[in-house]
Amino acid sequence: MSEPLSTVRCRVGWAMATVLLMASILAWDSFYWQQMPGDFNESAIPAFAMARGEFHCAYPTANQSSVPPLYPMVAASVIALTGLSNMKIPESGAAARGCPSSEVGAIDWHSPVLLLWPIGLLGWPVLLAGFVLVVRASGWGRTKLEVLGACLMACIPALAGTLINYFHPEDLFAMGLILGALAAHLRRRWFAAGVLIGLACCAKQYAVLAALPLLVVTPSRDRWRLLLGAVGIGAIVIVPLGIATGRGMFDALLGTNATPVGSATVVARLGLQGAARTVVSRCCPLILAAIVTLWAQSRIKTAVRQPVVLTALLATSLALRLVFEVNTFDYYLMALSVALIVADVAAGSIRLETIAWILAAGTLYPPKFEPLVLVVDKFPVPAQMLVALSGLALAMRPLFRLSHYGSAVSETAVEAIFRAKDYGDSTSVTSF
């Protein structure tokens, strides 16, 4: 799979991945027909309001949006440029004073495919670009492995779930920016990494989990550059939009409405309310991600900044989110699924265990298909623990493997270790 490909073949591979994504969306959508994806108003109301220049209408309190402002702002630009800003958005009852009421307009909202363009698929090019950048920064760019990874990523059920069941394309957007930040970090471009991870945090809250390992493993003398980039771009995006849109945007950015009471996870079954629930579900993953990163750094020293290790730390941080979530929806699994594929590509082979996990996660949490949905509805906590803990084990496996060598492992030895037959070659897709 390390055979080099021409630029033309790489582009053909990207096109194939895009076709596979569209086929996956249409295939999952055919299982069940509904008027529109859930949560569509969370990003549609801000996007259409911004496209019309009515920024004070973007985040009405009644809408309870948990979508930070970056993605709606980008979507608003596309909506305005394509002339769709006059299109009325779906009924939500969330109009603010002085804003047009939300009611169904001329578009046929009974066709979910029409929702995908122009605002639904905006996240895919960003995700694909981020994937290509991090693969090339890992030393596997312009190879068959790059194309295979992109095509496999396009087939992830949870990726389709961000567009057809619950409408959260900002997750794709944020994950693409996270991968871009990871690629910049691998190339020791600290300021660029900070800018991209700052933009990711402005697109989705879970990006903070990815920012933590990047910040910890950055050399202390260069850490200020990463922080400057992240804080600077965050201020540039948030301050003017916050002034224009009001308090509702800050509530969305902080995820005030992102931890509703549920009963489908271990943390939800604890019966915590308010601040206590937020602390457990949001702070515990951050604390444990920091502990794991510091442990890895203490064990393998500077080799922690190698692609195999850094991608594994990213996947571990995202897996910890699933362990402590108060709800588990199908699109929540997208980020970890992508991170596992990226970690495998960085190691030089895509493990069959990763394929099996993606298939199992898609079976337990399908974008649509009632017979499968009934399984997780009946056994919610066992399903969550099975998916979350197995995903965490897969993410941490490279870290445990390297920790066995301790500080004796050098940066140049990391690649040789992961080329060993007992890690990937005998149990990987790329060996067939």
Answer yes or no: is pLDDT of 252 > 90: no
d(CA 190, CA 153): 27
Residue at 161 is within a domain: yes
- What per-residue confidence (pLDDT) applies to 27? 87
Q: How far apart are CA 294 and CA 307, in angstroms?
A: 17
Q: Name 65's Cβ contacts closer than 8 Å, sequence gap at least 6.
A: 41, 42, 43, 45, 46, 59, 248, 252, 257
Residue 424 burial (CB count, 10 A)? 22
Q: Mean pLDDT for the chain?
A: 84
Instruction: List, for residues 259-290, the tens digit of each pLDDT value.
Output: 666 657 888 888 877 778 878 888 999 999 99
* Count of domains observed in the chain: 1
Which tens digit of pLDDT belongs to each residue from 63-92? 778 899 999 999 998 888 877 656 655 544
Note the pLDDT of residue 108.
Answer: 47
Phi/psi at 222 (nearest 5 deg)?
-110, -5
Look at residue 355 and tell me if it is in a domain. yes
Contact at 8 Å (CB) between 367 and 158? yes
**162 within some domain:** yes
Q: How far is CA 428 from CA 93, 149, 313, in A?
A: 51, 12, 21
* Residue 2 domain-assigned (yes or no): no
Give the Cβ contact number of residue 279 at 10 Å: 11
Q: 184 or 96: which carries more pLDDT confidence?
A: 184
Quickly state the pLDDT bin for 415 (edges 50, 70, 90): low
Mean pLDDT computed over 15-43:
82
Q: Is residue 64 in a domain?
A: yes
| Of 32, 6, 12, 3, residue with least CA distance to 367 | 32
Residue 121 has pLDDT above 90, yes or no: no
The answer to whether position 111 is within a domain reads no
Separation between Cα atoms, residue 199 and residue 213, nearest integer Å: 16
Q: Report yes or no on 55 lying in a domain.
A: yes
Query: In this predicted structure, what is the pLDDT of residue 193?
Result: 97
Q: Would you say 334 and 24 are in contact if contact means Cβ atoms under 8 Å apart?
A: no
Q: Which region, left, alpha or beta, applies to residue 176 given φ > 0 means left and ψ of -120 to 50 means alpha?
A: alpha
Rounded to whole angstroms, how far apart are CA atoms 33 and 40? 16
Q: pLDDT tens digit string along 354-395?
A: 999 999 999 999 887 666 676 777 888 899 999 999 999 999
pTM above 0.85, yes or no: yes
The CA–CA distances, whole Å, from 37 to 71, 76, 104, 170, 366 equal 17, 19, 14, 14, 14
Size of the chain, expressed as the number of residues it contains: 432
Taking the C-alpha atoms of residue 242 and residue 219, their distance in angstroms, rounded to an integer, is 33
| Amino acid occupying residue 333 | L
Q: Could you tell me the residue range of the domain that residue 210 belongs to?
A: 7-88+116-431
Residue 98 lies in a domain: no
